[in-house]
Amino acid sequence: MSHGPHLIAYADRLGGDLRGLRALLDGPLAGAFDGVHLLPFFTPFDGTDAGFDPDDHTAVDPRLGGWDGVRALADDRAVMADVIVNHVSARSAAFLDVRERGDASPSAPMFLTLSSIFPDGATEEDLARIYRPRPGLPFTAMRLGGRQRLVWTTFTPDQVDLDLRDPTAWDYVTSVIDHLVDAGVTLLRLDAVGYVGKVAGTSCFMTPQAFDVMRRISDHAHARGAQVLVEVHGHHTEQIAVAAQVDLVYDFALPPLVLHALTAGDLAPLAHWYDIRPRNAVTVLDTHDGIGIIDVGPGGAGEPGILEPAQIDTLVETIHRNSGGGSRLATGAAASNLDLYQVNCTFYDALARDDDRYALARLIQLFMPGIPQVYYVGLLAGTNDLDLLGETGVGRDVNRHRYTDAEIADELRRPVVRDVLAAVRLRREHPAFAGSPSWEFDGTTARSLWRCGEEEAALDLDVRDASYRVGVREADGSWRVVLTARG
């Protein structure tokens, strides 16, 4: 599998549909990306959770194209797609049948209610122990076959949790995987998989049963020729534990650590993380979700985080200040559909639209070991879309802009975007990146060197003033500078 850069994008928000996204990848973005994480394109792609609540997870929304459009994308690049493991839409045919017929429906065992996990009832202590990504309890009162029930809904009332102990639910998940692999998808992102192993008397998050599900899915994916990326936000030790058991895991600690380094002039936490981080990582600075904070914070039992609580508080307030208050409007109780552990903001705004600091952040990501993924808004150094936030009231929409073709053309002409694209192409094309890296940290400065045989590429940086220089070794042994801060 190539370890070159991947793009993360919604087809409808960058290119308009599958054909348009492919035209961008083959046109102005040619030579930049070895793969694309195609964010939910199922039917419908524009539900209440931006495609993560599809009515039919095995069908491509016809407004975007069809399975042939996915196959066309996969012809000459790796394609990653989401397997929404924890839940299905409350509008799905299976759950609508349960609403109508209750326990008489053959689909009833697929779905979790309170009694599925607590058959003898739950105590206050039981309910308080359940780990929650959002406020309130993870249940929604619904009538199933004329009977009032508490249905398990970890995220929203429109997303009903699956019981993967049930063979029908398991067959559903494997059928989703089979549809994706048959269309050429070779990388499967397991969305919210940490919540699938619900067990009475536990937090119902990252339990041994959740790890069992990850292994079962991985076994099925490997048999079909695909690999698995696990999406879990949590204490950094949980990422390390997950990484030991799966193909790939996100480096979700990297974004807040890079922001801390560039706003506080402090590389020490990033240096510590570099020493202990998993190497089978997918690196990101931004995604379709917010900037994770829990990933560098203390554990639930008080285990120390990579950043101290005071450093995290300062970082969050700095993001709010740098974004002119836009992130504050989109985060926490100010916005619906919120995640308690994330700050909603574009990475460019989080760095106060400072071109050199932003380009340096991307260079740090690209010089880290792992597979770098660049979110489409981040690729274009996008700013917070406060109009879309005002339209939907969904905090994460502040970083989910819908680009027109004209906007894309304009953004690609900006110097900071040209620098980011040049850095992405360097990571993909230069032979040094087929080797291995080293990092040396010294105060506010650092040096990263990638070497493969005689080929070398180096990044020298200083977070104090966001100065940097990228060089490559020529055949005669001299160094050629290919990127520097604009100043």
Query: How would DSSP label each residue in 414-468?
Result: SHHHHHHHHHHHHHHH-GGGGSEEEEEEETTEEEEEEEETTEEEEEEEETTTTEE
- The DSSP H or E segment spanning 442 is strand 436-442
Q: Is 191 a catalytic residue?
A: yes
138 in helix, strand or coil? coil
Could you tell me which residues are beta bridge partners of residue 342?
A: 292
Among residues 12, 82, 231, 456, the one annotated as catalytic is 231
Determine whether the annotation assigns residue 190 to a binding site.
Answer: yes
Q: How many angstroms separate the Cα of 157 from the Cα of each of 16, 277, 351?
A: 29, 36, 35
Determine whether the annotation assigns residue 229 to a binding site.
Answer: no
Residue written as token pair 């069992």: 212
Among residues 191, 286, 419, 462, the one annotated as catalytic is 191
Determine whether the annotation assigns residue 235 to a binding site.
Answer: no
Determine whether the annotation assigns residue 341 to a binding site.
Answer: yes
222 in helix, strand or coil? helix
- Long-range contacts of 402-408, Cβ-Cβ distance < 8 Å, separation of 24 or more: 402/12, 402/13, 403/13, 403/14, 403/376, 405/16, 405/20, 408/14, 408/24, 408/28, 408/380
CB 191 within 8 A of CB 149: no
Q: Rounded distance, CA 351 to CA 322, Å?
A: 6
Task: Indicate the pairing of strand 281-283 with strand 248-251.
Answer: parallel
Determine whether the annotation assigns residue 339 to a binding site.
Answer: yes
Determine whether the annotation assigns residue 224 to a binding site.
Answer: no
Determine whether the annotation assigns residue 231 to a binding site.
Answer: yes
Q: Is 247 a catalytic residue?
A: no
Determine whether the annotation assigns residue 17 to a binding site.
Answer: no
Determine whether the annotation assigns residue 191 to a binding site.
Answer: yes
Catalytic residue numbers read: 191, 231
Question: Which residues define the annotated binding site for substrate?
Answer: 49, 87, 189-191, 231, 288-289, 339-342, 396
Question: Which residues define the annotated binding site?
Answer: 49, 87, 189-191, 231, 288-289, 339-342, 396
